[in-house]
Chains A and B, each alone.
Chain A
Amino acid sequence: MVKFRIEKAPAPLWIKPLIPLIAIIVTFLVTSILVVMANANPLEAYYYFLLSPLSNRVSALETLVKATPLLLTGASVTIAFASGYWNIGAEGQLYAGAIAAAGLGMVLGNFPPILAIPIMLIGGFAAGMLWASIPALLKVKLAVDEVVTTLLLNSVILFIVSFLLNGPWRDPVSGWPQSPQIVDSAQLPRLISRSRLHLGFLVAIIMILIVWFILTRTSLGLKMRAVGHGQEAARFMGVNVGQTMLTAALISGGIAGLAGVTEVAGIHFHLIDAISPGFGYSGIIAATLGALNPLGVGLAAMFIGLIDTGAQTVSRSLGVPVYLGNVVQATLLLVTLGMFLLQNYRIRRD
């Protein structure tokens, strides 16, 4: 009988860039089962999923619109994770930014867009930072596990939003639980006419580039990566571990806050309860799929944007529930994580 054994051995280097690709293929094979259960043809479904959104101008641009908040939350999670700070709170920090955007958007009527928009962005960034500072300080000062605190604070801020929308900020015009519409000068201008693609997309691309620059080209970034990969060694080499982690956590929160601004000021123009269908969590998927390389994370965010858009097309064309998109995203994360782990092993014949 032929016997096999599993041993620890690093994968050859050429396989690393292929991991996301293989993960995508495996994910589609696995999720095909669900498509079949929904009485649709998997090949047809994946045509609508991946190719049809790119086949016409409107839905191609819509993919970029969907990708905008994901680029930001992806960048946010990347800088935190690269520094060994497990920020699961991009979702909540996004809402903090959205609250700031809605609030500022109500009072900036007298400012021209050239002033109002930077104020919106800075305000959203600051709000995200502020919200992120609670778990970050708890982590750095008292060693409270950030995974727990960042995650729990996500629900806390949802209640704050609910309070605002059902109380002081309830829209007097419609009476719906949404904040009053933000003033025109605070709205992000469209980049391309007859589409929803707005300035936020550009902001998102710039943030991806900034995160890339920080991590690879600055001394702060080197310290962050040192802390992320080896806290003890980093401390030995004189890196102030707490300060570095705090900086990463605050920048991460700020960038996630920007995602709240782009959604309020670029898409909805109101603060609503459901401003994010889980962009913060999808950002974790993008960051993982991109292996914490900011440029890879950018591509991954675009890809998830494509899945989100595609899920709607599949649902319209084939009657498969739109939640298939979420299942695909989640499966993709699990498969990718599994592959990152399994690449360290090989199976050998005895």
Chain B
Amino acid sequence: MNAIEMKSITKRFGPLVANDHIDFDLQKGEIHALLGENGAGKTTLMRILYGLYHADSGQILVDGSPVHITSPKDAIGWGIGMVSQHFTLVSPLTVAENVVLGYNKGYIYRPQEVIQNVTKAANQFGIDVEPSAIIRHLSVGERQRVEILKALYHNAKVLIMDEPTAVLVPQEVDILFQTLERLRKDGLSVIFISHKLYEVMTICDRITVLRDGKKIGTVLKNDTSERELARMMVGRETFGVYRQGEQKAGNPLLRIENITAVDKKGLTALKNVSLNVYEGEVLGIAGVSGNGQSELTQVLSGTLKPASGKIFIGDKEITNASPSEITRAGVGRIPEDRHAGVVGELTVAENLALESIEKFTRRSTLDKRLILKNAEQLISEYQIKARPTDPIRTLSGGNMQKVILARALSPEPRVVIASQPTRGLDVGATEYVRTKLLEQRNRGAAVLLLSEDLEEVMSLSDRIAVIYEGQIVGIVPGTEATEEQLGLMMTGARQEVKQHG
């Protein structure tokens, strides 16, 4: 009998179908991977199981009998525990206090008793944590073990781990795998959400692959290969925009030399990244999200200072330059999150003017007429469906992206940094954006395209660099790249991948 069975689960967010009639089953005592790219619907499915979301349709069975799970409390009652990427621990309290929090019966709190109980539980489950330690003093790996202990303490028979290795250093990953292995022998069932192939192949018994909200299939580890999984993960429908004509060999307009950078949490996000982007080419960067693309975009946009390394636009060094210096050096930037590229409360015209405000200012007073004229011109040129005086937050995603495109591309920059330029856009807007990017290439600009959409990278790029865990693991000519090969490189497959300079 299956510990968990999910039948034909469907979940919509507005027009987006996050889960489309997904079937999923978990056997007792197995580690079952849920594999897929970001946005494939893995986390949504598990949030439904844990009661954080409600399915629009479908059924959940625990130990063979149908159940209604409407909140995490219900899920915990049915023996389901979840360890999410963002821990839910109270940092000034002790490990033991966190473990019993919310489940300490009675009104009197007896610290000694709580510590004894938790110590007993930790020993029983073989989880290495010090119950009297304060959470604040623990490493990320230790905190994760506290989360696991918390779930087990509340009698979890099924443990959902949402990308548990994303926050861990390699040694901690080993400890986590040992812990999970031991718990499985004791009869625990684990759902392991991941997009890293080699991890899945190391620890899991069965693998279910999701793609674009649909289930692609469930395979036994022993019957499959990293190659097959990569193909299941990344295959996609295609759009009609393709790069045409050979790239004219030219000079490197953007040079990135040995850039190392640290993310917000203080972890190394980019390790010694070196890239050249030449005149008249699109260099695509493929990778699963969270492998350093955001930080690379930020470093190139002037919103994150690199720890070391150098960046040049032509001969001009722009390492550590401010965003406005970078813009003036001839860089058009399309940010990863379009809402971080425009101020929602300001009007379309104001957002179009702010980046080069000096041009629209006469003796520190705004030239409102010029600002409006500029906006009207760009609105018609870029087919933006909006009036210059509309607050930009009222625009659709596609129109907002066109505003950003207009702002970035209208000064005819020498270098274009486009990060996730079509994320969340409909087909029409996607084609428009891609066409505009290729126009830039054809007029001789160097275009750096960072995208999680492999089809996009493959159809637009002259060369494709793959980023994995903050490093460029290989560069492949666009004409030679295959989805399978890129998929393997993106997911850190251990086997040797043939690398091209």
Contact = CB atoms under 8 A, between A and B. Distances in A.
A233 B327 CA distance: 14
Count chain B CB atoms within 10 A of each CB in A217, A229, A233 and give the residue with the most. A233
Interface string B339-381: 1111111100011011101101100111010000000000000
B303 A226 contact: no
Q: Is the interface of A mostly helix, strand, loop or mixed?
A: helix
B364 A219 contact: yes
A240 B325 CA distance: 11
A78 to B, nearest CB: 15
Interface in A198-222: 217-222
A235 B303 contact: yes
Nearest to A230: B343
Contact of A236 (B301, B345, B364): B301
B177 to A, nearest CB: 37
A168 to B, nearest CB: 42
Contact of A238 (B323, B339, B342, B346): B323
Contacts of B353: 222
B340 A237 contact: no
A218 B340 contact: no
Contacts of B323: 235-238
Nearest to A235: B303
A233 B355 contact: no
Contacts of B302: 238
Given A223-B354, A238-B355, A240-B322, A229 B364 contact: no
A299 interface: no
A232 interface: yes
B354 A230 contact: no
A223 B357 contact: yes
B366 A237 contact: no
Contact of A222 (B324, B340, B344, B357): B357
Interface in A227-246: 229-230, 232-240
Given A234-B343, A236-B323, A240-B322, A219 B357 contact: yes
Contacts of A229: 343-346
A66 interface: no
Given A229-B345, A236-B335, A222 B354 contact: yes
Contacts of B365: 217-219
B364 A220 contact: yes
A240 B350 CA distance: 17
Nearest to B391: A229
B357 A217 contact: no
B343 A226 contact: yes
A293 to B, nearest CB: 13
Contacts of B368: 217
A252 B368 CA distance: 25
B333 interface: yes
A237 B355 contact: yes
B68 to A, nearest CB: 18
Contacts of A237: 323, 341, 343, 351, 354-355
A225 interface: yes
Contacts of A220: 364
Contacts of B357: 219, 222-223
A72 B180 CA distance: 64
A229 B346 CA distance: 8
Nearest to A226: B343
Nearest to A229: B345
Contacts of A238: 302, 322-324, 327, 354-355
Interface string B404-432: 00000000000000000000000000000
A225 B303 contact: no
A243 B344 CA distance: 21
A230 to B, nearest CB: 4
Interface string A307-340: 0000000000000000000000000000000000
A218 B360 CA distance: 10
A237 B342 CA distance: 8
A218 B364 contact: yes
A227 to B, nearest CB: 9
B346 A236 contact: no
B477 to A, nearest CB: 33
Given A236-B303, A238-B322, A230 B350 contact: no
Contact of A226 (B335, B339, B354): B354
B339 A233 contact: yes
B333 A236 contact: yes
A222 B341 contact: no
A240 B364 CA distance: 16
A226 B324 CA distance: 15
Contacts of B303: 232, 235-236
B345 A225 contact: yes
B337 to A, nearest CB: 9
Nearest to B323: A238
B366 A219 contact: yes
A233 B364 contact: no
Contacts of A225: 343, 345-346
Contacts of A223: 354, 357
The 6 closest A-B pairs by CB, nearest first: A238-B324, A230-B343, A229-B345, A238-B323, A219-B361, A237-B355
6 contacts: A218-B366, A219-B357, A219-B361, A223-B354, A235-B303, A240-B322
Given A226-B343, A230-B342, A236-B323, 8 more contacts: A221-B366, A229-B343, A230-B339, A230-B345, A236-B333, A237-B351, A238-B322, A238-B323
